[in-house]
Amino acid sequence: MSLALDHLDSTQALAARLDAELRRAHPKAIIAKALEMFGDELALVSSFGAESAVLLHMASEVSRDIPVLFLDTGMLFGQTLDYRQQLAAKLGLTDVRDLRPRFEDLAVGDPKADLWKTDTDACCHIRKVIPLDMALSGFSAWITGRKRFHGGDRMRLPVVEAADGKLKFNPLANWNKADLEAYAAEHDLPEHPLVAFGYPSIGCWPCTNPVEEGADIRSGRWAGSQKTECGIHTARAPGAPPDLGGDI
């Protein structure tokens, strides 16, 4: 067995053990366990979107120094950029890192900044997948804000999983919308300004629409297409480069 495959097997075994141990744990306890195990090799990835304040607040109470990776795609709503500054300051986060697409990738793949009109997968790849892959290369584990109640493939989301040779912790996997709202109210967390205008899930402005009350929470993302994920949560084989033209 190659060293890469041996590492993959051990990572998957560790993920399975931790998932069994933590699947009923409080999200803050899951974050604390991740930090205890991985220290400065742990990062939290946040969109500073509609539901981000809850996870970021919990993380700040465990440690304000956890690196927070924020994908500034160049296509975000101005309200999101303002919210990122406001929330990071309120929570006292000391290490928020703004990840931007590489100039050379934009120059070659999206020189007119209109790739989203013809190939949303390739646009997400340039503006999200590549920058995050590069940033995560220095970490062994990361924390996400995904939840099962968002539906789709997320309905089967474990609390801990292995992906691309790293561990991914999903502390809010078990929580529903009522849990999030109660926590945000208890801790007086500021709401993303677009939520009041019917945006329950917020990404880049060209591919995010408001939704009717009661509709699926992610139905405003890439509306009218079969796309449901940007690609950053799609695992790839060890050492395999992402496919620019594929369904990422």
Catalytic residues: 230
Q: What is the CA radius of gyration of the chain?
A: 18
- Residue 28 has a CB neighbour count (10 Å cut-off) of 15
Torsion-angle region of 76 (φ positive above 0: left; ψ -120 to 50: alpha; else: beta): beta
- Residue 97 has a CB neighbour count (10 Å cut-off) of 12
Residue 222 contacts residue 103 (beta carbons within 8 Å)? no
**Amino acid type, 65:** D
SS3 category, 143: strand
Q: Determine the Cα–Cα distance for residues 66 and 63; give it in Å rounded to an integer.
A: 6
Q: Element (H or E) spanning 80, and its range?
A: helix 78-91
Tokens of 232: 């950053």
SS3 category, 124: helix
Residue 54 contacts residue 183 (beta carbons within 8 Å)? yes
